[in-house]
Amino acid sequence: MRHLALALTLALISGPALAQEAEPPGFFERGLGTIMGQLFGGEEPAPLADALRGMGPVLQDLAAQVDDLRHYHAPERQPNGDILIRRREGAPPPPPLGETLQPDPDQPQIAL
């Protein structure tokens, strides 16, 4: 009898938790939903696959450029919103830029 009373009490206590509304999606969930909606909204899978295949070499060059995260300090946010990731002193020099990361001389330069 005691087990039945305990089980019934636990079932009644957990009832309101089931009736609670789910939290609205947060900032990241909404942003991810927007991005996924734009990616998959109007495009067929084939053009998306072609675009991802084209991005592969760029992502490989970028991953090689970062090399080991232990060679970098934690990111710093500047008052103007810029984010700096400084390389640690004594770290080996970064690898050379891959072909896909070379600047395009035909593109206009950004005035700093």
Digit-coded pLDDT (tens) for 34-81? 766 666 665 556 677 777 777 777 777 777 777 778 888 999 999 999
Q: Which amino acid is at 7?
A: A
Question: Does residue 82 belong to any structural domain of this protein?
Answer: yes
Question: Does residue 74 belong to any structural domain of this protein?
Answer: yes
Place of tokens 């900032």: 27
Taking only the tens place, the pLDDT of each residue in 15-31 is: 555 555 666 666 667 76
What predicted TM-score, i.e. pTM, was given to this entire model? 0.37
Q: What pLDDT, on a 0 to 100 scale, did the predictor assign at position 89?
A: 93
Residue 96 has pLDDT above 70, yes or no: yes
Question: Does residue 5 belong to any structural domain of this protein?
Answer: no
Domain of 80?
47-90
Number of structural domains found in the chain: 1
CA distance 112 to 103: 16
Contacts of 75 (CB under 8 A, 6+ apart): 83, 84, 85
Question: Does residue 18 belong to any structural domain of this protein?
Answer: no
